[in-house]
Amino acid sequence: MRHRRKGRVLGRAPSHRKALLRNLVSNLFWTERTEDHVDRFAGGFDPNPPKVKGRIVTTLQKAKEVRPLVEKCVTIARRSLNAEKQAEQFTTDAKRGSDSWNQWRSGDEWKKWVAAKSPAIAARRHVLKLIGDKKAVSVLFDEIAPRFSDRDGGYTRILRLAKPRLGDSGVRAILEFVGTHDRVIKRSEKPAFSDDDADTDTAETEEKIDAEKAVDVEVSAEEGTTAEVATDDGKEKE
């Protein structure tokens, strides 16, 4: 019996399973990388850019098992945004090591900045302890967390694929962030079956017919006046 043993084993040892989940989370976060992150961590060279940002394809069981860890990391990063905003009020644009920077470092603004920035630094260290990848942590706090600042949970979705995996016919699924690849359902217009709608349609058609008749009468009247002018000039009327 599996008393107090939650989660899927996935046919792996505990250490192997933990490393697998951490790698899946890191890969999902790293798909949202920008050019700045590539320059910072990969030296400006990205040999394997993602086809679609914010999406990975894995088996259905792995996607269900890794989703809670992704949600937890995003929640930790999202809650640290307020601390980073407060710390921006006390920061400085001076170059590190300059006289102005040293003066700021020795003043009260430095202490206020440290007090405001500490929760954000603790959050980054917490997420780094969970997934163990500095690159993914940087992308999470810089790109993903601000996007979900007004969302309380439900940051990802799982979409089951119809085509199984080659080799073992494993059920595959897509794990992706919400908000970027949302499916929009286009609904057709509902036809009108009521008498009021029919009356309005007939009224509109009658108005169009009357307008066309009025145009024809004006055209015929203009043709008659031109014929009369021609007869006055002495030309024979046909």
- Domain at 53, CATH number: 3.90.1030.10
- pLDDT value, residue 227: 46
For tokens 């066309």, the residue is 212
Domain co-membership, 120 together with 218: no
Same domain, residue pair 146 and 215: no
Give yes or no: residues 137 and 37 share one domain.
yes
Domains held by the chain: number = 2
Q: Let me know if residue 188 belongs to a domain.
A: no
Residue 31 pLDDT greater than 70, yes or no: yes
List, for residues 134-146, the tens digit of each pLDDT value. 999 999 999 999 9
Residues 19 and 125 in one domain: yes
Whether residue 120 is found in the same domain as residue 19: yes
35 or 209, which is more confident? Answer: 35
In this structure, the answer to whether residues 169 and 200 fall within a common structural domain is no
- Residue 136, domain extent: 14-177
Between 159 and 236, residue with greater pLDDT = 159
Determine the distance from the C-alpha atom of residue 155 to the mean position of all C-alpha atoms in its chain, rounded to a whole number: 10
Q: Do 168 and 203 have their domain in common? A: no
Q: Mark whether 173 and 68 lie in a shared domain.
A: yes
For residue 165, the 8-state DSSP code is P
Element housing 156 (H / E): strand 156-160
Whether residue 153 is found in the same domain as residue 225: no
146 shares its domain with 208 = no
130 within domain boundaries: yes
Q: With 0-12 CB in 10 A as exposed, 13-18 as middle and 19+ as buried, what is 218? A: exposed
Range picked from 89-98, 151-160, 227-236 for highest mean pLDDT: 151-160
Confidence of residue 150 (pLDDT cuts 50, 70, 90): very high
Residue 4 in domain: no
Q: What is the CA radius of gyration of the chain?
A: 34
Do 229 and 150 belong to one domain? no
Q: Measuring CA to CA, how many Å separate 161 from each of 31, 59, 135, 184, 212?
A: 20, 9, 29, 19, 57
- For residues 134 and 222, state if they share a domain: no
Query: What are residue 59's DSSP bridge partners?
Result: 172
Distance in angstroms (rounded) separating the CA atoms of residues 50 and 226? 75
